Amino acid sequence: MAAVALLVSPAVVRLGGSSSDVPFPQAQKPRTYVFIVNPEGGSGKTLKRWKAMKPLLQRSLGEEVTVREALTEYPFHAAELAREAVEQGADAVVAVGGDGTLHEVVNGFFSNGQPVIPRAALVRQEGAEQQRGSEGEEQQSEAGRECSDDDKPRGTERNGCEGTHAVSRRPALGVIPLGTGSDFARTFGWRSDDANAAVARIARGHRQAIDVGRVQLRDCGVDQCFVNVADVHLSARVGRAAVPLKSSFGSLCYAIATLKAFPKHRNLDLSIRIDNGPWQTLPAATMLAIGNANFFGGGMRICPQASPSSGSFNVVTLSGFRLLDFVQRGWRLFAGSHIGVKGVESYSAKLIEIKVAAAEGDSKEVSQEVYVQGDGEALGHLPAVFQILPGAIDILV
């Protein structure tokens, strides 16, 4: 794994002081924030904007925070860098760029749907387990009563009733939106052109637990997480077509990509199952959006009822749509007023399974035509399983 380039605040470098061996009482542990930047994002504009805001960020965070910078070098490198930062005990890992960079950073927090645990926490956990195992049955019998919630000090975790162990706060996710779409940031009202607000938000350090989506594509060997919107069929095909257009057309790339993608698209019957219920047919499916947040495609409010802290997805399906329908009703997708329009359905789900309906013939061959993407990143094709992970990550707000 490539080494992380370090950029340490000058104030933090001054480590001299008293030579006394007696530590200050209750000294606060220095915090570390890792900023992961895609230097190629926005045709190089992301890196320039990041360099411009970095001095203000370092001043705002102050002496108690060590700032580290990591530049990505290849696809999914941001996930590797984020995982390394989490394992090393970073207090926050900040995605600097667009939704693609954010998607990778979020995936650095998880492995097969489970949170990555800092190494120091693993060592403490193993030590606690060994200690409990050596105490024997005699001490267990003395502590045979159950601990009530009132027995648990705030910010601590009881291990039986024998003692308390401080809980290490899990690393937080930060977002500095500097990308083409930056759709996830829109749900929170964060603008990509307001560097001062982004710096203030990171420096403030307030946290909010939000949900994370997990997507598994069996035939593609994919098991990834997403934090914004995952989508299936036409919109995922459009997303693929938009990639080479972003540098030249900016947010207009999605409209142009729709025109390019439609000739190769055909509506298909899909089978879906919600929360382990019965399988149902979605006839002539044009696209499906599985929203943890509201926006995708450069500002379309596709999942207007989604909330990142709700514990469930807002699933929106479009059926029987033609190109003319998008021309006539496309404005509704941006306004979020498309729910209830003919061919549009919306519902809540914690688990959704999607596959090509048997009526479409060779479902395996047809499945390869039905693309899936997460946070605007191409992931593979059907069949797919989407699962909500409630409150799985803390985000700096």
The per-residue pLDDT for range 119-145, each reduced to its tens digit, is 887 766 666 666 666 555 555 545 444
91, 99, 211, 375: the catalytic one is 99
The per-residue pLDDT for range 20-47, each reduced to its tens digit, is 343 434 445 689 999 999 998 887 899 9
Query: Is 99 a known active-site residue?
Result: yes
Question: 146 or 360: whose pLDDT is higher?
Answer: 360
Q: What is the pLDDT of residue 75?
A: 95
Which of the four CATH numbers 3.40.50.10330, 3.30.1490.20, 2.60.40.420, 3.40.50.720 does domain 30-115+169-205 have?
Answer: 3.40.50.10330
Question: 110 or 162: whose pLDDT is higher?
Answer: 110
The per-residue pLDDT for range 316-358, each reduced to its tens digit, is 999 999 999 998 998 999 999 999 999 999 999 999 999 999 8
* Region of poorest pLDDT, from 156-165, 282-291, 328-337: 156-165
Residues 6+ apart with CB under 8 A from 62: 11, 203
* 49 pLDDT higher than 80: yes
> Which CATH architecture fits 213-391?
Sandwich (2.60)
Residue extents of the structural domains in the chain: 30-115+169-205, 213-391
Q: What is the pLDDT of residue 139?
A: 54
Contact by Cβ (8 Å): 338, 289? no
Contact by Cβ (8 Å): 232, 382? yes
Closest of 234, 254, 235, 258 to residue 246, by C-alpha: 254
Contact by Cβ (8 Å): 191, 49? no
**DSSP secondary structure, 141-199, as one string:** HHT-SPPPGGGS-TTEEESTTS-EEEPPPPPEEEEEE-SS--HHHHHTT--TT-HHHHH
Task: Say what percent of the chain tops pLDDT 70.
Answer: 80
Residues 6+ apart with CB under 8 A from 196: 56
Q: How confident is the model at residue 360 (pLDDT cuts 50, 70, 90)?
A: confident
User: Mean of the pLDDT values across residues 157-163?
Assistant: 31
The pTM score is: 0.82
Contact by Cβ (8 Å): 288, 233? yes
